[in-house]
């Protein structure tokens, strides 16, 4: 009887050890698993953005270039280092002349057009040099004295000035005009044009009547 009691006691102790080992194994498996869902979400929210992302407020795009969130402004064509347009040069201007005399006027009028045919904006201001070629030599036009404004000519834009000259109403042959020489303001290079006005100027004492030129931008009748 005593032998049976000892045997039952040994079996009970062994069963107890087996149960404890199983419980410890289960607990170890739970502790060695991955992070809980809450910790995974937290890590994802603090992760740095991928290299390929772009920042609309500025930063680097996936190709390594810098984004600015807006378009850059290109420098104005024809501008110098200070951003101002340079002066119009003779070679950049298409210069033409046309008769603009209105019937009944005491003087004749020729309008001279200066058109920017260059590849940049340019500024023009002041008086052009004007000389009439005649059978008696060159006749320089006198300035009217009007205030000269500054104009910015964009590519394809034009400005004008007027030349007034006396009409030959004497009935005589007068002084024959053979050509018109124009030198743009602040330039030394001239262009020679056909004279579009009346063919002769009246002959007067003192070398002839005055031919006048207005400033650039004043192509009104009478200069």
pLDDT tens digits, one per residue of 201-221: 998 644 555 899 999 998 654
List all residues 6 or more positions away from 155 whose beta carbon is below 8 Å from its beta carbon. Answer: 77, 116, 117, 118, 119, 120, 121
Q: What is the pLDDT of residue 75?
A: 31
**Which stretches of the chain are assigned E, i.e. beta strand?**
59-60, 66-67, 86-87, 93-99, 107-116, 122-125, 129-134, 137-140, 142-143, 150-153, 158-166, 175-183, 191-193, 200-201, 212-213
Most confident segment among 17-21, 59-63, 98-102: 98-102
Token couple for 182: 């124009």
Residue 178's SS3 state is strand
The pairing of strands 107-116 and 93-99 is antiparallel
**DSSP conformational letter for 145:** -
Q: Reduced to 3 DSSP states, what percent helix, strand and coil does the chain have, rounded to the nearest 5?
A: 20, 30, 50
Tens of pLDDT, residue by residue over 91-123, are 999 999 999 998 888 899 999 999 999 999 999
Which of residues 162 and 16 earns the better pLDDT score?
162
Helix (H, G, I), strand (E, B) or coil at 202: coil
Taking the C-alpha atoms of residue 141 and residue 221, their distance in angstroms, rounded to an integer, is: 16
**pLDDT confidence bin for 172, thresholds 50/70/90:** confident
Q: Distance between CA 128 and CA 216 in Å, rounded?
A: 7
Quick check: 178 pLDDT over 80? yes
Look at the chain and count its residues: 223
Q: 135 with 200: CB under 8 angstroms?
A: no
Query: How far is it, in rounded angstroms, from Cα 202 to Cα 174?
Result: 5
Give the global pTM: 0.61
Range with lowest mean pLDDT among 74-83, 122-131, 145-154: 74-83
């Amino acid at each position: 009887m005593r032998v049976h009691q000892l045997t039952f006691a040994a079996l009970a102790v062994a069963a107890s050890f087996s149960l404890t080992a199983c419980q410890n194994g289960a607990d170890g498996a739970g502790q060695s698993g991955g992070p809980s869902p809450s910790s995974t979400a937290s890590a994802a929210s603090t992760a740095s953005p991928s290299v390929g992302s772009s920042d609309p407020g500025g930063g680097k795009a996936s190709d390594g270039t810098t984004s600015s969130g807006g378009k850059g402004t290109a420098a104005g064509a024809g501008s110098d280092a200070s951003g101002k347009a340079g002066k119009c040069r003779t070679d950049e201007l298409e210069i033409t002349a046309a008769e603009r005399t209105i019937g009944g006027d005491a003087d004749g009028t020729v309008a001279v057009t200066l058109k920017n045919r260059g590849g940049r904006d340019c500024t023009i201001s002041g008086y052009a040099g004007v000389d009439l070629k005649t059978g008696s030599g060159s006749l320089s036009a006198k300035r009217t004295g009007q205030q000269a404004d500054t104009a910015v000519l964009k590519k394809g834009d034009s400005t004008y000035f007027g030349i007034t000259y006396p009409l030959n109403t004497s009935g005589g042959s007068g002084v024959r005009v053979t050509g018109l020489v124009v030198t743009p303001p602040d330039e030394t290079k001239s262009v020679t044009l056909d004279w579009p006005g009346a063919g002769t100027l009246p002959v007067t004492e003192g070398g002839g009547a005055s031919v006048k030129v207005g400033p650039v931008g004043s192509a009104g009748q009478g200069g």
